[in-house]
Amino acid sequence: MALLGLYAGGRSQAVVVAMLMLLGASVGPFVMATQSEVLRVAPGRTEPALAANSAAFNAGVAAGALTGGALLSAIGVRGTFLVGGLLTLAALAVLTWPAHTRPEEVTPPTTRRNPRIGLQ
């Protein structure tokens, strides 16, 4: 939203300041949410999972900087914000794809019930 706001209102100093504040405020919760999800899906393997998450995050930053730098001379600053916002919307569409197309979550063996002895 902030990237699209920077594209739409990029000529107004007040809008730019507000959108940059929104963009900066969104980074902290994003990092915490992704780390929490990584810890949830990889119990017992937290160190390699967090390392992979950090590597993916840094690769994304590098790819974004490379793409933005290449686009900057071609379409200008505001156009770069537009492309960034559209890529963010595309990522959100992929992440919110209907759940019935995702593989079902597997219950770990330690939480399955055995009627004769309770929890294993």
Q: What is the pLDDT of residues 35-53, one digit of tens each?
A: 888 888 888 888 899 899 8
Are the beta carbons of 81 and 4 closer than 8 angstroms?
A: yes
Report phi then psi at 45, rounded to 5.
-130, 45
Q: What percent of the chain has a predicted confidence (pLDDT) above 70?
A: 82
Instruction: State whether residue 14 is helix, strand or coil.
Output: helix
Q: Comparing 116 with 34, which gets the higher pLDDT?
A: 34
Mean pLDDT of 23-39: 87
Please enumerate in sequence order all residues whose Cβ is within 8 A of that of 46, keeping only pairs 6 or more positions apart, or say none.
Answer: 38, 39
Q: How confident is the model at residue 31 (pLDDT cuts 50, 70, 90)?
A: confident
Mean pLDDT of 87-116: 68
Give yes or no for residue 72 having a pLDDT over 70: yes
> What is the pLDDT at residue 69?
92
DSSP assigned state of 45: -
CA dist., res. 5 & res. 12, Å (int): 11
Closest CA to 16 of 28, 30, 2: 2
